[in-house]
Chains A and B, each alone.
Chain A
Amino acid sequence: MDVMHALETGTAAGLFAYAPLIILFPIVGLVANLLVGRRLGERFVGIVASGAVALAFVVAVVQFLALRAQPEGARVMVADWIAIDSLSIPWAFKIDSLSVTMMLMVSGVSALIHIYAVGYMHEDVRFQGDPGRYTRFFIYFNLFVAAMMVLVTGDSFLTLFVGWEGVGLCSYLLIGFWYEKGGGGIGNALAGNKAFIVNRIGDFGFLIAMFLAFWAFGSLQFDEVFERAEALGPAGAGVLTAITLFLLVGATGKSAQIPLYVWLPDAMAGPTPVSALIHAATMVTAGIYMITRNHVLFELAPFSSGMVAWVGAATALFAATIAVGQYDIKKVLAYSTISQLGFMVAAVGLGAYVAGMFHLITHAFFKALLFLSAGSVIQGVERGHHHAAHGHAPPAGAPFDPNDMRGMGGLAGRMRVTFFVYLVGAVALAGIPPLAGFFSKDEILAEASRQNPAVYVLLSAAAFLTAFYMGRQIWMVFFGRPRSQAAEGAVESPLVMTAPLAGLALLSLLGGALNLPGIHTLGHWLEHTLGTLEAAEFNPAVALVSVGLAALAIGLAWLLYGRSPLAEGQPDPLRRLLGPVFVGMQNKWKVDELYDWLIVRRYVSLSRFLAESVDGRFWHDWFHDSVLAQGFRRSTSWLSYGFDLPVVDGFFNGLARLIGQAAAGLRRLQTGYARNYALALLGGAVVVLGLLLFG
């Protein structure tokens, strides 16, 4: 009510001061869970974690309302952070339409996924056999939300980078959440490592971009950098191209683009809510957000923008081809995510920042929905498996994999709600109007057709494959006859999981309304941040072609997977059709193997060479042992035997012997005979007398 009052009386600016709460709430939630969560039980943990994120969402809404009253936004200072000589980086929040859009999206989707996770993790920790980890999961989850908020609200490269690294850390922690599971007992831990290390390469690029920006412009604050970059004019083209290219490296790491996308499919080792929240909806979009935030720089560096567009388009198509050949339900979605991120990156590369942000938001809705419903499917199958395993002896052969679509089938009737929302998500992703995905993807395609036909062709092909692999997935998972006992006994998930799914399904249905052609709500909203951009004209031809392609792809998928459903043990019909191409898709074009051979193995042999030859043999054996130790030993030995003994000792021993000999000589004078002494006395007296008389 305070908020309403403030809005009415026109003191919206005062509300901006509440922005830091959006980070504070998740941190309070995680601290509460950290301190007392384990003692107070799952219900408390779930409520605190979800409540904290819901409160963050409320803060985002308040910021949104305040921004409506005062569209130019504000800069909210929190504290002086780094102040060294001329370098001054305060911790400040940048409240503008772009950051508030991200805040709303991140906190809203996070809140729904948190609620879902309350139900999902309840079962997951029991399936995996460690209920104690429930609390830990929500602590990480809240930490992630806090870090993501730091990322989107930061007003300088450095604050953004703190969030950037923070979400990377949470991603690592959550991918390896079941770190003792996975292939060989360390598969999940390795996946976490891979994500972290590959991201490190991108982060390195981002760091260099940041250093370059500071070197060239003397500031890390976005507004100042942009101002000075614009003032520099054509003279700054070189350094701006370098900065933006390094920013692109950072974006390819975080947003899983060629060539650094390889970590994202492996990241599916994390629990499904993690895949939905971090590896589909929010964290992986950080790269696109970062490029959009730096749109001023990218606009001044057309070469880099072109590179961005090409990287995005290539990734979109490449990942889509791999998605076609996957059997793991989450891997299909993972490659789909990479592909859709490619769409967004291509969009921002083409300068269509609004289209990129629009797709980012709708994608967050339907990809989160797809992942969460995939999680629901997986747990449904797991429940079926447990049920079957209780009744009968466990089936021999390959170990049970609840993610394998070949073991599913016929789930539509068994998991009705999940099926329905999955369908909504899939249709939205495939780009069928009037769902969200159609509008956002179409805006990107229209922009591409206007600017760069080659990119348009790549993206259209990717859109075609998108519709195809989603159709393939729907028919493989939900139709036909169950291909395993587990699928046979699959049971629908509880309400706490299906309710957020329904919410996300609604958003996926209606999300397109955010930026309808001709109205451009989002476009006008973002104008305050991105400047007046020429709105992409709705292109009926492009729309028609893309819908036609999607329909064709779905028809093809029906022909292959729908008309005669896959039977148990039957190979994929595409395999017969495409032969080695399908094998290539199935094996992810062997990119991991290529990287392994090209980089990892070289790196390992280089480190082995450094460890064994340079450090071990040269440095340790030769330099330390032979040169240093032996040299020291030799010099001390010379000092001891060559100098100390003969010279120092010799001098004092000689002195002692001399005195001894002198004493021995004098000793003989002491005869003990009084007579001798008397003679000496006499001699003395005679001498004295002689001296007195004759001297």
Chain B
Amino acid sequence: MNVPTAYLLMLAAVLFSIGVIGVLLRRNAIIVFMSIELMTNAGNLAFIAFARELLSTAGQVFVFFTIAVAAAEVAVGLALVVAIFRTKHSIDIDQMSSLKG
């Protein structure tokens, strides 16, 4: 089964777009978070696709790093969400607008 790279890239683009839309439109902090993960993984997918296409392992190495950083980011992000929930009793990110000018 030989899937063409363009398909993979298109899937990555679609995933990324879904992530962007999720970040922009959703108000639930968890969903926004998951959308960000989606965007990250869309990027990973593009890396993998190119790695296969170009027969290079550099892309795969990048993906490993990205997954590790994303895991750490999730830990920090979830901690932030918990902290926000503690103070605001909500995880609606539109409530987080005290920096409004």
Binding site for B on A (CB under 8 A): 666-675, 678-679, 682
Contact = CB atoms under 8 A, between A and B. Distances in A.
Given A670-B99, A670-B100, 20 more contacts: A666-B101, A668-B101, A669-B101, A670-B101, A671-B97, A671-B100, A672-B96, A672-B98, A672-B99, A672-B100, A673-B93, A673-B94, A673-B97, A674-B93, A675-B93, A678-B23, A678-B24, A679-B24, A682-B20, A682-B24
Interface string B39-67: 00000000000000000000000000000
A672 B20 contact: no
Contacts of B24: 675, 678-679, 682
Contacts of A670: 99-101
Contacts of A675: 23-24, 93-94
Interface in B1-32: 20, 23-24
A674 B96 contact: yes
B20 A667 contact: no
Contacts of B94: 673, 675
Contacts of A679: 24
B23 A672 contact: no
Contacts of B23: 675, 678
Contacts of A666: 101
Contacts of B98: 672
13 contacts: A666-B101, A668-B101, A670-B101, A671-B100, A672-B96, A672-B97, A672-B100, A672-B101, A673-B93, A673-B97, A674-B96, A675-B94, A682-B20
B24 to A, nearest CB: 6
Interface of B: 20, 23-24, 93-94, 96-101
Contacts of B100: 670-673
Nearest to B94: A673
A356 to B, nearest CB: 113
Contacts of A674: 93, 96
Contacts of A673: 93-94, 97, 100
Nearest to A679: B24
Contacts of B96: 672, 674
Nearest to B27: A675
Q: Which 6 A-B pairs have the closest CB atoms?
A: A670-B101, A672-B100, A672-B97, A667-B101, A672-B99, A678-B23
Contacts of A667: 101
A682 B35 CA distance: 14
Q: At the interface, is chain B mostly helix, strand, loop or mixed?
A: loop
Contacts of A671: 97, 100-101
Q: Which of B23, B99, B101 has the most chain A CB within a 10 Å cutoff?
A: B101
A666 B101 CA distance: 9
A679 B97 CA distance: 15
A693 to B, nearest CB: 14
B75 to A, nearest CB: 19
A671 B96 CA distance: 10
B23 to A, nearest CB: 5
A671 B101 CA distance: 6
Contacts of A678: 23-24
Nearest to A675: B24
Nearest to A685: B20
A673 B101 CA distance: 11
Contacts of B99: 670, 672
B35 to A, nearest CB: 10
A28 B93 CA distance: 111
Contacts of A672: 96-101
Nearest to A678: B23
A670 B94 CA distance: 14
Contacts of A668: 101
A669 B20 CA distance: 21
A483 B31 CA distance: 144
B94 to A, nearest CB: 6
A682 to B, nearest CB: 6
A694 B100 CA distance: 36
Contacts of B20: 682
A550 B24 CA distance: 146
A679 B22 CA distance: 12
Q: Which of A666, A667, A670, A673 has the most chain B CB within a 10 Å cutoff?
A: A673
A686 to B, nearest CB: 10
A670 B97 CA distance: 10
A670 B101 CA distance: 5
A161 to B, nearest CB: 92
A682 B36 CA distance: 13
A287 to B, nearest CB: 102
Nearest to A669: B101
A506 B14 CA distance: 154
A668 B98 CA distance: 14
A672 B98 CA distance: 6
Contacts of B97: 671-673
Nearest to B25: A675
A668 B100 CA distance: 8
Nearest to A663: B101
Nearest to B101: A670
A532 B62 CA distance: 142
Nearest to A666: B101
A588 B73 CA distance: 130
Nearest to A676: B24
B25 to A, nearest CB: 8
A682 B20 CA distance: 8
A138 B65 CA distance: 123
Contacts of A682: 20, 24
A671 B99 CA distance: 7
B50 to A, nearest CB: 17
A168 to B, nearest CB: 93
B84 to A, nearest CB: 11
A363 B97 CA distance: 123
A665 to B, nearest CB: 11
A675 B31 CA distance: 13
A671 B94 CA distance: 10
Contacts of A669: 101
A674 B101 CA distance: 13
A510 to B, nearest CB: 124
A560 B98 CA distance: 131
Q: Which of A670, A675, A682 has the most chain B CB within a 10 Å cutoff?
A: A675
A544 B57 CA distance: 166
A667 B100 CA distance: 8
A678 B20 CA distance: 9
A678 B24 CA distance: 7
B36 to A, nearest CB: 9
A566 B96 CA distance: 133
Nearest to A673: B97
B5 to A, nearest CB: 18
B79 to A, nearest CB: 17
A661 to B, nearest CB: 14
Nearest to B29: A674
A674 B24 CA distance: 9
A678 B32 CA distance: 11
A673 B92 CA distance: 11
A679 to B, nearest CB: 6
A279 to B, nearest CB: 103
A669 B100 CA distance: 9
